[in-house]
Chains A and B, each alone.
Chain A
Amino acid sequence: MEVKVQAIDHRDIFYPPGGILLWLIIILELITFGLGIAGLVYYGRIEPEVFHQSRLQLNSFIGTVNTMVLLISGYFMANTIVKHKSGDIIATRKYLKWTILGGMLFVGLKCYEYVEKLTGNLELEDNMFFTFYWLMTGFHLAHVLVGLVILSFSWWHLKTNPSSVQGADLESGAAFWHMCDLIWLFLFPSLYLIF
């Protein structure tokens, strides 16, 4: 099954890969999470011992596995775009399915980690470290869930009516998904390792 793909000149400032609106969102999200991380570091300097003890209560093994899961999912997403550009819809669908499954695994592991924290009575208002932990990982998880909805929607359309899925639409979904990667790549060391 093959479809024709229209080429876009990404060198044009108004047409970055994924679209200008999505890239504005990406830049704003990176700034927002960056400010969150700066706040975490600021309070970490005020209460270094509290932050160190709190950090030790996080499960860095799950954090590491989740990082790898998200990276592998990102790899499948990158291949999804490559295959769609080559017009191979069956392979596009296959890679997109694995991307979604990777995302679901990330959500599952995150939920397990949350349950672990809640049963250990490590809640939002315990201290500033856990306030940042719950808010930042929670907002990130919300982004992953939105990404999963977008990708599932694309996958469904690829299955039912492949010609309706434009390369630009798929690239936008991919850019959103990789944005979740980018944010997590800074959240993971900031929360799980450095304090």
Chain B
Amino acid sequence: MEKKNLSILFILIGLTLVMALLDVFNLEIGNYLTSMVMGIAAVKFLLVAFAFMDLRKAHFFWKFATVLIGLLIVLVVGFWV
């Protein structure tokens, strides 16, 4: 369990670095890159919720509510900016 959590942590940190690199190299953040950044944020959100918060063990209602809110935020930011 601890090893699994550690693997997830490395994935999360890797994804954070990918997001930061987009800024460090001053890439022009166009619409598709905004969607990409928010997509990465969504993956991180789901990893923390399902792995660290043990949401995978919870009733479907809580999984659905959390995923729905996360996806709505990603869609609003990713496709509206």
A interface, CB within 8 angstroms of B: 10-13, 16-18, 23, 26-27, 30-31, 34, 37-38, 41-42, 44-45, 60-61, 64, 67-68, 71-72, 74-75, 77-79, 81-82, 171, 174-175, 178, 181-182, 185-186, 188-190, 192-195
A182 proximity list for chain B (CB < 8 A)? 45, 48-49, 70
Which of B5, B48, B70 is packed against the most chain A CB atoms within 10 Å?
Answer: B48
Q: How far is the CB of B23 from chain A (nearest CB, A)?
A: 5
Q: How far is the CB of A103 from chain B (nearest CB, A)?
A: 15
B interface, CB within 8 angstroms of A: 1-2, 5-6, 8-9, 12-13, 16-17, 19-20, 22-24, 29, 34, 37-38, 40-41, 44-45, 48-49, 51-55, 57-59, 61-62, 65-66, 69-70, 72-74, 76-77, 80-81
Question: Can you pick out 10 interface pairs between chain A and chain B where the beta carbons lie within 8 Å of each other?
Answer: A16-B62, A17-B55, A41-B76, A41-B77, A75-B5, A82-B1, A178-B52, A193-B23, A194-B77, A195-B81
At the interface, is chain B mostly helix, strand, loop or mixed? Answer: helix
Inter-chain CA distance A26–B80, complex, in Å, is 25
The number of A-B residue pairs with CB atoms under 8 Å apart is: 134
B5 touches A186 (CB 8 A): no
